[in-house]
Amino acid sequence: MIKSPLRIAIYAFAVLCAVVFLYPLLFSFQNSLKDNTEIYGDAVFSFPSDWLWSNYKQAVVDGNMLWAIFNSFFYAAAGTLLALLLALMASFVLSRLNFKFREVIYLYFITGLMIPVFSLMIPISRLIGTVNGFNNYFVLIILYAVIELPFAIFLISGFMRGISKEIDESAVIDGCKPRTLLFRILLPLTMPAISTAGILAFFSIYNDLIWNVLLITDKNMYNISMALFSFVGQYGAVQMGPTFASIMITIIPTVVVYLLFQEKVENGLSAGAVKE
Amino acid sequence: MFGRRVYPTVILFLLPVFVLYTLIFIVPVIQTAYMSFFSWNGIKSVPLEFVGWSNYADMFSKPEFYRSLKNVGVFILASFVLILPIGFTLALIITSKMRGRRFFKVAYFMPAILPLTSVGLMWQFLLKGDGGFVNKILELMGLGVLQQDWLGQPAIAIYVVVVVNAWIYVGLNMIIFASGIVSISDEIYEAASLDGAVGWRKILYITVPLMRETFKIFSVLAVTQSLRVFGQIFVMTGGGPNGATDVPTTMLYNESFKYNNFGMGNSIGTFIIVTGFILTVLLNKLMSSKESR
Protein backbone atom coordinates (compact mmCIF):
# COMPACT_ATOMS: atom_id res chain seq x y z
CA MET A 1 0.00 0.00 0.00
CA ILE A 2 1.30 3.42 -0.89
CA LYS A 3 1.48 5.83 2.03
CA SER A 4 0.61 9.02 0.25
CA PRO A 5 0.28 12.22 2.30
CA LEU A 6 -3.41 12.36 1.41
CA ARG A 7 -3.95 8.92 2.82
CA ILE A 8 -2.28 9.89 6.06
CA ALA A 9 -4.34 13.06 6.26
CA ILE A 10 -7.55 11.10 5.82
CA TYR A 11 -6.48 8.62 8.44
CA ALA A 12 -5.68 11.43 10.84
CA PHE A 13 -9.10 12.90 10.21
CA ALA A 14 -10.76 9.56 10.90
CA VAL A 15 -8.90 9.19 14.16
CA LEU A 16 -9.65 12.77 15.18
CA CYS A 17 -13.35 12.22 14.59
CA ALA A 18 -13.29 9.02 16.63
CA VAL A 19 -11.76 10.99 19.49
CA VAL A 20 -14.39 13.71 19.19
CA PHE A 21 -17.18 11.15 19.32
CA LEU A 22 -15.81 8.84 21.99
CA TYR A 23 -13.77 11.03 24.30
CA PRO A 24 -16.71 12.85 25.92
CA LEU A 25 -18.03 9.44 26.92
CA LEU A 26 -14.69 8.31 28.32
CA PHE A 27 -14.35 11.62 30.13
CA SER A 28 -17.77 11.16 31.72
CA PHE A 29 -16.76 7.67 32.79
CA GLN A 30 -13.58 9.01 34.41
CA ASN A 31 -15.55 11.71 36.18
CA SER A 32 -18.09 9.18 37.39
CA LEU A 33 -15.32 7.71 39.56
CA LYS A 34 -13.99 10.98 40.95
CA ASP A 35 -15.03 13.28 43.74
CA ASN A 36 -15.72 16.98 43.27
CA THR A 37 -12.20 18.08 44.19
CA GLU A 38 -10.69 15.94 41.49
CA ILE A 39 -13.36 16.81 38.91
CA TYR A 40 -12.78 20.53 39.37
CA GLY A 41 -9.02 19.94 39.65
CA ASP A 42 -6.40 20.23 36.94
CA ALA A 43 -5.85 16.58 36.03
CA VAL A 44 -8.41 16.62 33.23
CA PHE A 45 -7.33 13.55 31.28
CA SER A 46 -6.23 11.26 34.07
CA PHE A 47 -8.11 8.45 35.73
CA PRO A 48 -8.92 9.13 39.38
CA SER A 49 -6.33 8.39 42.04
CA ASP A 50 -8.92 6.49 43.98
CA TRP A 51 -11.75 4.82 42.01
CA LEU A 52 -14.92 5.88 43.79
CA TRP A 53 -17.35 3.09 42.96
CA SER A 54 -19.45 4.51 45.78
CA ASN A 55 -20.72 7.10 43.26
CA TYR A 56 -22.40 4.26 41.40
CA LYS A 57 -23.75 2.85 44.61
CA GLN A 58 -25.27 6.22 45.39
CA ALA A 59 -26.91 6.43 41.95
CA VAL A 60 -28.27 2.91 42.28
CA VAL A 61 -29.54 3.30 45.82
CA ASP A 62 -30.74 6.92 45.92
CA GLY A 63 -31.60 7.29 42.26
CA ASN A 64 -33.19 3.87 41.91
CA MET A 65 -31.39 3.63 38.57
CA LEU A 66 -31.47 -0.15 38.19
CA TRP A 67 -35.19 -0.19 38.71
CA ALA A 68 -35.53 2.61 36.13
CA ILE A 69 -33.54 0.56 33.64
CA PHE A 70 -35.81 -2.39 34.32
CA ASN A 71 -38.85 -0.14 33.81
CA SER A 72 -37.50 1.17 30.53
CA PHE A 73 -36.78 -2.37 29.35
CA PHE A 74 -40.24 -3.48 30.38
CA TYR A 75 -41.99 -0.56 28.62
CA ALA A 76 -39.88 -1.11 25.54
CA ALA A 77 -40.32 -4.89 25.39
CA ALA A 78 -44.07 -4.87 26.05
CA GLY A 79 -44.72 -1.84 23.86
CA THR A 80 -42.70 -3.28 20.99
CA LEU A 81 -44.43 -6.66 21.17
CA LEU A 82 -47.85 -5.04 21.18
CA ALA A 83 -46.92 -2.67 18.34
CA LEU A 84 -45.60 -5.54 16.24
CA LEU A 85 -48.65 -7.70 16.85
CA LEU A 86 -51.05 -4.90 15.92
CA ALA A 87 -48.95 -3.81 12.94
CA LEU A 88 -48.68 -7.39 11.71
CA MET A 89 -52.44 -7.90 11.80
CA ALA A 90 -53.11 -4.58 10.07
CA SER A 91 -50.39 -5.19 7.48
CA PHE A 92 -51.76 -8.61 6.65
CA VAL A 93 -55.19 -7.21 5.94
CA LEU A 94 -53.87 -4.17 4.09
CA SER A 95 -51.37 -5.96 1.89
CA ARG A 96 -52.76 -9.49 1.28
CA LEU A 97 -56.54 -9.20 1.17
CA ASN A 98 -58.82 -7.51 -1.34
CA PHE A 99 -61.71 -5.44 -0.07
CA LYS A 100 -63.37 -2.08 -0.52
CA PHE A 101 -61.58 1.07 0.70
CA ARG A 102 -58.35 -0.82 1.27
CA GLU A 103 -56.15 1.93 -0.19
CA VAL A 104 -58.00 4.64 1.72
CA ILE A 105 -57.53 2.83 5.02
CA TYR A 106 -53.85 2.28 4.25
CA LEU A 107 -53.39 5.99 3.58
CA TYR A 108 -55.28 6.77 6.78
CA PHE A 109 -52.67 4.85 8.77
CA ILE A 110 -49.72 6.23 6.85
CA THR A 111 -50.88 9.80 7.53
CA GLY A 112 -49.64 9.16 11.06
CA LEU A 113 -46.07 9.37 9.75
CA MET A 114 -46.62 13.04 9.01
CA ILE A 115 -48.06 13.91 12.42
CA PRO A 116 -45.39 15.00 14.91
CA VAL A 117 -46.48 13.35 18.17
CA PHE A 118 -44.98 16.17 20.23
CA SER A 119 -47.69 18.46 18.90
CA LEU A 120 -50.27 16.16 20.48
CA MET A 121 -49.09 16.24 24.07
CA ILE A 122 -52.02 18.34 25.29
CA PRO A 123 -54.93 16.27 23.90
CA ILE A 124 -53.20 12.98 24.68
CA SER A 125 -52.53 13.85 28.30
CA ARG A 126 -56.10 15.13 28.54
CA LEU A 127 -57.38 11.88 27.07
CA ILE A 128 -55.34 9.87 29.55
CA GLY A 129 -56.64 12.10 32.33
CA THR A 130 -60.24 11.37 31.42
CA VAL A 131 -59.67 7.62 31.76
CA ASN A 132 -57.64 8.14 34.96
CA GLY A 133 -54.69 6.59 33.20
CA PHE A 134 -51.86 8.42 34.93
CA ASN A 135 -49.27 6.17 36.58
CA ASN A 136 -50.61 3.11 34.83
CA TYR A 137 -48.25 0.61 33.18
CA PHE A 138 -51.00 -0.74 30.95
CA VAL A 139 -52.09 2.64 29.58
CA LEU A 140 -48.53 3.77 28.98
CA ILE A 141 -47.64 0.59 27.09
CA ILE A 142 -50.67 0.92 24.82
CA LEU A 143 -49.77 4.55 24.15
CA TYR A 144 -46.17 3.65 23.32
CA ALA A 145 -47.29 0.83 21.02
CA VAL A 146 -49.76 2.97 19.11
CA ILE A 147 -47.24 5.77 18.62
CA GLU A 148 -44.95 3.25 16.91
CA LEU A 149 -47.77 1.85 14.77
CA PRO A 150 -47.75 4.00 11.61
CA PHE A 151 -44.12 3.33 10.84
CA ALA A 152 -44.35 -0.35 11.72
CA ILE A 153 -47.36 -0.74 9.41
CA PHE A 154 -45.54 1.16 6.69
CA LEU A 155 -42.47 -1.09 6.93
CA ILE A 156 -44.19 -4.44 7.42
CA SER A 157 -46.97 -4.00 4.86
CA GLY A 158 -44.46 -2.74 2.32
CA PHE A 159 -42.41 -5.88 2.82
CA MET A 160 -45.42 -8.20 2.82
CA ARG A 161 -46.60 -6.84 -0.49
CA GLY A 162 -43.40 -8.18 -2.03
CA ILE A 163 -44.07 -11.77 -0.97
CA SER A 164 -45.63 -13.89 -3.70
CA LYS A 165 -49.43 -14.19 -3.44
CA GLU A 166 -49.27 -17.78 -4.66
CA ILE A 167 -48.27 -18.77 -1.16
CA ASP A 168 -51.61 -17.54 0.15
CA GLU A 169 -53.53 -19.28 -2.58
CA SER A 170 -52.00 -22.67 -2.05
CA ALA A 171 -52.37 -22.27 1.71
CA VAL A 172 -56.06 -21.46 1.37
CA ILE A 173 -56.63 -24.38 -0.97
CA ASP A 174 -55.11 -26.59 1.71
CA GLY A 175 -57.74 -25.25 4.09
CA CYS A 176 -55.63 -22.71 5.92
CA LYS A 177 -57.43 -20.13 8.08
CA PRO A 178 -56.35 -16.47 7.86
CA ARG A 179 -54.90 -16.63 11.36
CA THR A 180 -52.78 -19.67 10.49
CA LEU A 181 -51.74 -18.14 7.18
CA LEU A 182 -50.51 -15.00 8.91
CA PHE A 183 -48.79 -16.39 11.99
CA ARG A 184 -47.51 -19.70 10.61
CA ILE A 185 -46.64 -18.90 7.02
CA LEU A 186 -46.29 -15.14 6.42
CA LEU A 187 -44.75 -14.20 9.76
CA PRO A 188 -41.48 -16.11 9.25
CA LEU A 189 -41.19 -14.71 5.73
CA THR A 190 -41.68 -11.15 6.98
CA MET A 191 -39.06 -11.45 9.71
CA PRO A 192 -36.58 -8.93 8.18
CA ALA A 193 -39.15 -6.12 8.22
CA ILE A 194 -40.45 -7.18 11.62
CA SER A 195 -37.02 -7.10 13.19
CA THR A 196 -36.26 -3.68 11.72
CA ALA A 197 -39.55 -2.28 12.95
CA GLY A 198 -39.01 -3.96 16.30
CA ILE A 199 -35.53 -2.55 16.88
CA LEU A 200 -36.72 0.91 16.00
CA ALA A 201 -39.75 0.72 18.27
CA PHE A 202 -37.67 -0.73 21.09
CA PHE A 203 -35.08 2.05 21.01
CA SER A 204 -37.63 4.79 20.68
CA ILE A 205 -39.72 3.53 23.62
CA TYR A 206 -36.67 2.74 25.74
CA ASN A 207 -35.41 6.29 25.31
CA ASP A 208 -38.77 7.98 25.68
CA LEU A 209 -38.81 11.23 27.56
CA ILE A 210 -41.96 13.26 27.09
CA TRP A 211 -44.67 10.67 27.83
CA ASN A 212 -42.96 9.64 31.04
CA VAL A 213 -42.67 13.32 32.00
CA LEU A 214 -46.34 13.99 31.30
CA LEU A 215 -48.01 10.82 32.49
CA ILE A 216 -45.92 9.44 35.35
CA THR A 217 -45.51 10.94 38.81
CA ASP A 218 -44.95 7.69 40.70
CA LYS A 219 -41.22 7.32 41.30
CA ASN A 220 -41.42 3.55 41.04
CA MET A 221 -42.62 3.86 37.46
CA TYR A 222 -39.92 6.25 36.23
CA ASN A 223 -38.05 5.21 33.12
CA ILE A 224 -34.37 6.05 32.66
CA SER A 225 -35.05 9.58 31.42
CA MET A 226 -37.20 10.54 34.38
CA ALA A 227 -35.00 8.79 36.93
CA LEU A 228 -31.97 10.61 35.53
CA PHE A 229 -33.79 13.93 35.60
CA SER A 230 -34.86 13.61 39.18
CA PHE A 231 -31.47 12.29 40.35
CA VAL A 232 -29.52 14.98 38.54
CA GLY A 233 -31.99 17.59 39.75
CA GLN A 234 -31.18 16.48 43.27
CA TYR A 235 -27.38 16.23 43.04
CA GLY A 236 -26.53 18.19 39.89
CA ALA A 237 -23.37 20.19 40.04
CA VAL A 238 -23.17 19.89 43.81
CA GLN A 239 -22.03 16.30 43.58
CA MET A 240 -20.75 15.77 40.09
CA GLY A 241 -19.41 12.27 40.68
CA PRO A 242 -22.77 10.61 41.35
CA THR A 243 -24.34 12.68 38.57
CA PHE A 244 -21.89 11.33 36.02
CA ALA A 245 -22.27 7.85 37.49
CA SER A 246 -26.03 7.96 36.96
CA ILE A 247 -25.51 9.09 33.37
CA MET A 248 -23.06 6.24 32.75
CA ILE A 249 -25.45 3.68 34.23
CA THR A 250 -28.13 4.65 31.71
CA ILE A 251 -25.64 4.59 28.85
CA ILE A 252 -24.01 1.21 29.51
CA PRO A 253 -26.96 -1.15 28.75
CA THR A 254 -27.50 0.54 25.39
CA VAL A 255 -23.83 0.24 24.50
CA VAL A 256 -23.89 -3.46 25.33
CA VAL A 257 -27.04 -4.06 23.27
CA TYR A 258 -25.56 -2.15 20.37
CA LEU A 259 -22.26 -4.04 20.42
CA LEU A 260 -24.14 -7.35 20.50
CA PHE A 261 -26.47 -6.56 17.60
CA GLN A 262 -24.41 -4.00 15.64
CA GLU A 263 -25.59 -4.58 12.08
CA LYS A 264 -29.22 -4.98 13.03
CA VAL A 265 -29.25 -1.84 15.15
CA GLU A 266 -27.53 0.22 12.46
CA ASN A 267 -29.91 -0.92 9.75
CA GLY A 268 -32.96 -0.60 11.94
CA LEU A 269 -32.26 2.92 13.11
CA SER A 270 -31.22 4.24 9.71
CA ALA A 271 -34.39 2.77 8.19
CA GLY A 272 -36.27 4.61 10.92
CA ALA A 273 -34.63 7.91 10.14
CA VAL A 274 -35.96 7.69 6.61
CA LYS A 275 -39.49 7.57 7.94
CA GLU A 276 -41.24 10.01 5.71
CA MET B 1 -58.76 -14.28 -1.65
CA PHE B 2 -61.33 -15.67 0.76
CA GLY B 3 -64.04 -14.08 -1.44
CA ARG B 4 -66.87 -12.61 0.59
CA ARG B 5 -65.64 -14.30 3.71
CA VAL B 6 -62.86 -11.73 3.71
CA TYR B 7 -64.87 -9.17 5.69
CA PRO B 8 -65.01 -10.98 9.04
CA THR B 9 -61.20 -11.30 8.86
CA VAL B 10 -60.77 -7.65 7.91
CA ILE B 11 -62.90 -6.52 10.82
CA LEU B 12 -61.35 -8.89 13.32
CA PHE B 13 -57.77 -7.98 12.37
CA LEU B 14 -58.17 -4.31 11.63
CA LEU B 15 -60.75 -3.03 14.07
CA PRO B 16 -58.60 -2.94 17.23
CA VAL B 17 -55.74 -1.23 15.40
CA PHE B 18 -58.12 1.18 13.74
CA VAL B 19 -59.79 2.19 16.99
CA LEU B 20 -56.54 2.67 18.92
CA TYR B 21 -54.87 4.58 16.11
CA THR B 22 -57.87 6.84 15.64
CA LEU B 23 -58.11 7.50 19.37
CA ILE B 24 -54.43 8.34 19.87
CA PHE B 25 -53.45 9.95 16.56
CA ILE B 26 -56.42 11.31 14.67
CA VAL B 27 -58.79 12.45 17.40
CA PRO B 28 -55.99 14.42 19.15
CA VAL B 29 -55.16 16.18 15.88
CA ILE B 30 -58.77 17.28 15.56
CA GLN B 31 -58.87 18.22 19.24
CA THR B 32 -55.72 20.28 18.93
CA ALA B 33 -57.22 22.24 16.08
CA TYR B 34 -60.59 22.59 17.83
CA MET B 35 -59.18 23.55 21.21
CA SER B 36 -56.91 26.16 19.64
CA PHE B 37 -60.01 28.37 19.48
CA PHE B 38 -60.57 28.10 23.23
CA SER B 39 -58.83 29.40 26.28
CA TRP B 40 -58.14 26.83 29.00
CA ASN B 41 -55.93 26.73 32.07
CA GLY B 42 -55.55 22.97 32.19
CA ILE B 43 -57.74 22.31 35.21
CA LYS B 44 -60.25 19.58 34.53
CA SER B 45 -63.21 21.23 36.24
CA VAL B 46 -62.70 24.62 34.59
CA PRO B 47 -64.69 24.84 31.35
CA LEU B 48 -63.15 25.88 28.03
CA GLU B 49 -63.89 29.41 26.95
CA PHE B 50 -64.38 30.18 23.27
CA VAL B 51 -62.03 32.96 22.17
CA GLY B 52 -62.07 32.69 18.37
CA TRP B 53 -58.79 33.43 16.63
CA SER B 54 -57.23 35.24 19.57
CA ASN B 55 -54.82 32.42 20.44
CA TYR B 56 -53.44 32.70 16.93
CA ALA B 57 -53.33 36.47 17.13
CA ASP B 58 -51.38 36.18 20.39
CA MET B 59 -49.08 33.59 18.89
CA PHE B 60 -48.28 35.61 15.79
CA SER B 61 -47.69 38.76 17.82
CA LYS B 62 -45.17 37.09 20.13
CA PRO B 63 -41.53 37.80 19.25
CA GLU B 64 -40.71 34.53 21.06
CA PHE B 65 -42.68 32.63 18.43
CA TYR B 66 -40.60 34.06 15.61
CA ARG B 67 -37.45 33.33 17.54
CA SER B 68 -38.54 29.70 17.87
CA LEU B 69 -39.01 29.58 14.09
CA LYS B 70 -35.59 31.12 13.60
CA ASN B 71 -34.16 28.42 15.84
CA VAL B 72 -35.75 25.77 13.64
CA GLY B 73 -34.03 27.57 10.77
CA VAL B 74 -30.71 27.24 12.62
CA PHE B 75 -31.32 23.50 12.94
CA ILE B 76 -32.07 23.21 9.22
CA LEU B 77 -29.00 25.25 8.32
CA ALA B 78 -26.80 23.13 10.59
CA SER B 79 -28.10 19.99 8.87
CA PHE B 80 -26.61 21.24 5.62
CA VAL B 81 -23.40 22.91 6.81
CA LEU B 82 -22.46 20.47 9.61
CA ILE B 83 -24.25 17.13 9.40
CA LEU B 84 -24.23 16.76 5.61
CA PRO B 85 -20.52 17.36 4.90
CA ILE B 86 -19.24 15.56 8.00
CA GLY B 87 -21.69 12.69 7.71
CA PHE B 88 -20.85 12.20 4.05
CA THR B 89 -17.10 12.29 4.68
CA LEU B 90 -17.44 9.76 7.48
CA ALA B 91 -19.58 7.58 5.20
CA LEU B 92 -16.76 7.63 2.63
CA ILE B 93 -14.32 6.62 5.35
CA ILE B 94 -16.31 3.67 6.66
CA THR B 95 -17.10 2.38 3.16
CA SER B 96 -13.46 2.64 2.06
CA LYS B 97 -10.97 -0.15 2.50
CA MET B 98 -9.21 1.70 5.27
CA ARG B 99 -7.85 -0.32 8.14
CA GLY B 100 -9.98 -0.09 11.27
CA ARG B 101 -13.11 0.97 9.41
CA ARG B 102 -15.30 -1.27 11.56
CA PHE B 103 -14.03 0.43 14.68
CA PHE B 104 -14.58 3.85 13.16
CA LYS B 105 -18.13 2.97 12.20
CA VAL B 106 -18.96 1.93 15.76
CA ALA B 107 -17.23 5.02 17.17
CA TYR B 108 -19.09 7.46 14.94
CA PHE B 109 -22.45 5.78 15.35
CA MET B 110 -22.24 5.38 19.12
CA PRO B 111 -23.71 8.78 20.16
CA ALA B 112 -26.77 8.26 17.95
CA ILE B 113 -27.94 5.16 19.82
CA LEU B 114 -27.43 6.40 23.37
CA PRO B 115 -30.44 7.68 25.29
CA LEU B 116 -31.03 11.30 24.31
CA THR B 117 -31.64 12.30 27.92
CA SER B 118 -28.30 10.81 28.99
CA VAL B 119 -26.18 12.47 26.32
CA GLY B 120 -28.10 15.72 26.67
CA LEU B 121 -27.47 15.88 30.40
CA MET B 122 -23.88 14.77 29.86
CA TRP B 123 -23.25 17.69 27.52
CA GLN B 124 -25.01 20.04 29.88
CA PHE B 125 -22.27 19.27 32.41
CA LEU B 126 -19.44 19.17 29.89
CA LEU B 127 -20.42 22.66 28.76
CA LYS B 128 -20.72 24.10 32.24
CA GLY B 129 -19.21 27.52 32.90
CA ASP B 130 -17.06 26.58 35.87
CA GLY B 131 -15.05 23.39 35.67
CA GLY B 132 -16.76 22.15 32.50
CA PHE B 133 -14.82 19.84 30.21
CA VAL B 134 -14.94 22.15 27.20
CA ASN B 135 -13.63 25.10 29.19
CA LYS B 136 -10.83 23.00 30.64
CA ILE B 137 -9.74 21.85 27.19
CA LEU B 138 -9.75 25.45 25.99
CA GLU B 139 -7.59 26.45 28.92
CA LEU B 140 -5.11 23.67 28.21
CA MET B 141 -4.93 24.79 24.60
CA GLY B 142 -4.12 28.31 25.77
CA LEU B 143 -7.49 29.60 24.67
CA GLY B 144 -8.61 30.46 28.16
CA VAL B 145 -10.16 33.73 26.98
CA LEU B 146 -12.86 31.76 25.16
CA GLN B 147 -14.09 30.15 28.36
CA GLN B 148 -17.73 30.80 29.12
CA ASP B 149 -21.01 29.33 30.23
CA TRP B 150 -21.80 27.79 26.85
CA LEU B 151 -25.47 27.08 27.37
CA GLY B 152 -26.11 30.11 29.55
CA GLN B 153 -25.50 32.85 27.01
CA PRO B 154 -28.64 33.77 25.05
CA ALA B 155 -26.59 34.92 22.06
CA ILE B 156 -24.79 31.63 21.46
CA ALA B 157 -26.79 28.95 23.30
CA ILE B 158 -28.78 27.83 20.25
CA TYR B 159 -25.60 27.38 18.19
CA VAL B 160 -24.03 25.32 20.96
CA VAL B 161 -27.15 23.13 21.10
CA VAL B 162 -27.04 22.71 17.34
CA VAL B 163 -23.41 21.55 17.47
CA VAL B 164 -24.23 19.03 20.19
CA ASN B 165 -27.18 17.91 18.06
CA ALA B 166 -24.77 17.34 15.18
CA TRP B 167 -22.48 15.36 17.50
CA ILE B 168 -25.43 13.11 18.32
CA TYR B 169 -26.90 12.59 14.85
CA VAL B 170 -23.97 12.70 12.42
CA GLY B 171 -23.47 8.95 12.89
CA LEU B 172 -27.03 8.14 11.98
CA ASN B 173 -26.81 10.18 8.80
CA MET B 174 -23.45 8.61 8.06
CA ILE B 175 -25.17 5.21 7.94
CA ILE B 176 -27.79 6.58 5.56
CA PHE B 177 -25.12 8.03 3.26
CA ALA B 178 -23.08 4.84 3.51
CA SER B 179 -26.00 2.73 2.31
CA GLY B 180 -26.27 5.10 -0.66
CA ILE B 181 -22.56 4.72 -1.39
CA VAL B 182 -22.47 0.93 -1.27
CA SER B 183 -25.44 0.70 -3.63
CA ILE B 184 -23.30 2.16 -6.44
CA SER B 185 -21.88 -0.77 -8.37
CA ASP B 186 -18.13 -1.34 -8.56
CA GLU B 187 -18.30 -1.65 -12.33
CA ILE B 188 -19.02 2.04 -12.68
CA TYR B 189 -15.91 2.88 -10.69
CA GLU B 190 -13.84 0.43 -12.71
CA ALA B 191 -15.03 1.97 -15.96
CA ALA B 192 -14.19 5.40 -14.59
CA SER B 193 -10.71 4.25 -13.57
CA LEU B 194 -10.10 3.09 -17.11
CA ASP B 195 -11.10 6.55 -18.27
CA GLY B 196 -8.52 8.00 -15.92
CA ALA B 197 -10.63 9.12 -12.98
CA VAL B 198 -8.79 8.93 -9.68
CA GLY B 199 -9.27 9.75 -6.01
CA TRP B 200 -11.48 12.69 -5.29
CA ARG B 201 -12.54 12.97 -8.93
CA LYS B 202 -14.30 9.64 -8.57
CA ILE B 203 -16.15 10.98 -5.57
CA LEU B 204 -17.04 14.27 -7.21
CA TYR B 205 -18.10 12.95 -10.62
CA ILE B 206 -19.48 9.52 -9.76
CA THR B 207 -20.38 9.08 -6.11
CA VAL B 208 -22.05 12.44 -5.54
CA PRO B 209 -24.20 12.51 -8.71
CA LEU B 210 -25.27 8.90 -8.27
CA MET B 211 -26.33 9.58 -4.71
CA ARG B 212 -28.87 12.19 -5.72
CA GLU B 213 -31.70 10.11 -4.26
CA THR B 214 -29.99 9.81 -0.89
CA PHE B 215 -29.30 13.54 -0.76
CA LYS B 216 -32.93 14.23 -1.59
CA ILE B 217 -34.12 12.06 1.26
CA PHE B 218 -31.63 13.77 3.53
CA SER B 219 -32.91 17.21 2.53
CA VAL B 220 -36.54 16.35 3.14
CA LEU B 221 -35.60 14.88 6.52
CA ALA B 222 -33.42 17.84 7.46
CA VAL B 223 -36.36 20.18 7.08
CA THR B 224 -39.17 18.04 8.48
CA GLN B 225 -37.20 16.63 11.40
CA SER B 226 -35.93 20.07 12.40
CA LEU B 227 -39.53 21.10 12.94
CA ARG B 228 -39.89 18.17 15.34
CA VAL B 229 -36.83 18.80 17.48
CA PHE B 230 -37.79 18.52 21.12
CA GLY B 231 -35.75 16.26 23.41
CA GLN B 232 -32.37 17.85 22.73
CA ILE B 233 -33.64 21.28 23.77
CA PHE B 234 -35.86 20.05 26.58
CA VAL B 235 -32.97 18.21 28.22
CA MET B 236 -30.13 20.64 27.70
CA THR B 237 -31.70 24.06 28.17
CA GLY B 238 -35.45 23.63 28.59
CA GLY B 239 -35.76 26.42 26.04
CA GLY B 240 -33.69 28.86 28.09
CA PRO B 241 -31.83 30.98 28.88
CA ASN B 242 -34.85 33.22 28.77
CA GLY B 243 -36.41 31.44 25.81
CA ALA B 244 -33.33 31.87 23.62
CA THR B 245 -33.26 28.21 22.56
CA ASP B 246 -37.01 27.64 22.33
CA VAL B 247 -38.32 25.77 19.30
CA PRO B 248 -42.06 25.46 18.59
CA THR B 249 -42.35 22.11 20.38
CA THR B 250 -40.67 23.29 23.59
CA MET B 251 -42.66 26.51 23.42
CA LEU B 252 -45.81 24.39 23.21
CA TYR B 253 -44.68 22.49 26.32
CA ASN B 254 -43.70 25.60 28.26
CA GLU B 255 -46.80 27.62 27.37
CA SER B 256 -49.07 24.73 28.33
CA PHE B 257 -47.51 22.80 31.15
CA LYS B 258 -45.48 25.60 32.71
CA TYR B 259 -47.69 28.67 32.24
CA ASN B 260 -51.03 26.84 31.97
CA ASN B 261 -51.83 28.65 28.75
CA PHE B 262 -53.23 25.64 26.92
CA GLY B 263 -55.04 27.69 24.30
CA MET B 264 -51.79 29.09 22.98
CA GLY B 265 -50.23 25.62 23.29
CA ASN B 266 -52.89 24.23 20.99
CA SER B 267 -52.50 27.00 18.44
CA ILE B 268 -48.76 26.24 18.35
CA GLY B 269 -49.58 22.54 18.03
CA THR B 270 -51.90 23.24 15.11
CA PHE B 271 -49.25 25.40 13.52
CA ILE B 272 -46.68 22.57 13.79
CA ILE B 273 -49.05 19.98 12.32
CA VAL B 274 -50.17 22.17 9.42
CA THR B 275 -46.67 23.45 8.62
CA GLY B 276 -45.22 19.95 8.83
CA PHE B 277 -47.90 18.63 6.52
CA ILE B 278 -47.45 21.39 3.95
CA LEU B 279 -43.64 21.11 4.05
CA THR B 280 -43.69 17.33 3.62
CA VAL B 281 -46.06 17.44 0.67
CA LEU B 282 -44.30 20.42 -0.92
CA LEU B 283 -40.78 19.01 -0.55
CA ASN B 284 -41.78 15.60 -1.87
CA LYS B 285 -43.43 17.25 -4.89
CA LEU B 286 -40.43 19.47 -5.50
CA MET B 287 -38.02 16.56 -5.29
CA SER B 288 -39.99 14.27 -7.57
CA SER B 289 -40.63 16.93 -10.22
CA LYS B 290 -36.91 17.61 -10.45
CA GLU B 291 -36.41 13.93 -11.04
CA SER B 292 -38.74 13.75 -14.03
CA ARG B 293 -36.83 16.43 -15.88
**Cβ–Cβ gap A17/B104 under 8 Å:** yes
pLDDT at residue number B21: 95
pLDDT at residue number B1: 61
pLDDT in tens, A58-102: 888 888 899 999 999 999 999 999 999 999 999 999 998 888 888
pLDDT in tens, B256-270: 999 999 999 999 999
**pLDDT beneath 70: ranges in chain A:** 1-3, 273-276
Nearest CA in chain B to A128: B24
- Dist. CA A166–CA B139, nearest whole Å: 69
For B39, the 3-state DSSP assignment is strand
**Cβ–Cβ gap A118/B217 under 8 Å:** no
pLDDT at residue number B3: 64
B134 CB near a chain A CB, below 8 Å? no
pLDDT in tens, B92-108: 999 888 888 889 999 99
Tell me the shortest Cα–Cα distance from A119 to chain B, in angstroms. Answer: 5
**pLDDT beneath 50: ranges in chain B:** 292-293
B residues 201-230 lying closer than 8 A (beta carbon) to A: 217, 220-221, 224, 227-228, 230
Q: Which residues of B touch A203 (CB under 8 A)?
A: 113
pLDDT at residue number B293: 43
A9 CB near a chain B CB, below 8 Å? no
* ipTM field: 0.88
Tell me the shortest Cα–Cα distance from A71 to chain B, in angstroms. Answer: 14
Exposure b/e, A56-69, CB count within 10 A at least 16 = b: bebbbeebbbeebb
**Count of beta carbons in the 10 Å neighbourhood of residue A95:** 21
One-character DSSP codes across B104-165 = HHHHHHHHHHS-HHHHHHHHHHHT-TTT-HHHHHHHHTT-GGG---TTT-TTTHHHHHHHHH
For B50, the 3-state DSSP assignment is strand
One-character DSSP codes across chain A = ----HHHHHHHHHHHHHHHHHHHHHHHHHHHTTS-HHHHHSS--SSPPSS--THHHHHHHHHS-HHHHHHHHHHHHHHHHHHHHHHHHHHHHHHHH---TTHHHHHHHHHGGGGS-GGGGHHHHHHHHHHTT-TT-HHHHHHHHHHHHHHHHHHHHHHHHHTS-THHHHHHHHTT--HHHIIIIIIHHHTHHHHHHHHHHHHHHHHT--HHHHHH---GGG--HHHHHHHHHHHHTTTTHHHHHHHHHHHHHHHHHHHHHTHHHHHHHHHHHHT--
pLDDT at residue number B137: 84
pTM, two decimal places: 0.90
Closest to B24 (Cβ–Cβ): which among A124, A265, A275?
A124
Tell me the shortest Cα–Cα distance from A81 to chain B, in angstroms. Answer: 14
**Cβ–Cβ gap A114/B280 under 8 Å:** yes
pLDDT at residue number B292: 47
pLDDT at residue number A274: 64
Chain-wide mean pLDDT for chain B? 88
- One-letter amino acid at A153 equals I
Count of pairs with CB atoms under 8 A, one residue in A, one in B = 253
